[in-house]
Amino acid sequence: MYKITYHKSTIKDLKKISLKKKVSIINKIEKLAINPFVQNTNLKKLQNNLHIYRLRVGKFRIIYEIDQKNKKIVVWKIKPRASVYSK
């Protein structure tokens, strides 16, 4: 099982989301800890990045990195699709 860690800015992202959506997003992230490489149509490896992935949960996108060596998943961003890919 992988350990989930959240980047500091991700905590701020979560505070802006309604409770119902927040619960759904956290449940999806916890499922990643069990098997981050499960075949899922809502999961996609981002181009030009070896370990960066995107998980779609409704209109929100979760950007995360998988560290296989340390069995760790770092969640970098949780934002609506329109703003997640901008810097």
Structural tokens at position 19: 């409770």
Q: 3-84 adopts what CATH topology?
A: YaeB-like fold (3.30.2310)
For residue 2, pLDDT over 70 is answered with: yes
Please enumerate in sequence order all residues whose Cβ is within 8 A of that of 66, keeping only pairs 6 or more positions apart, or say none: 2, 36, 37, 51, 53, 72, 73
pTM over 0.95: no
pLDDT band with cut points at 50, 70 and 90 for residue 87? low
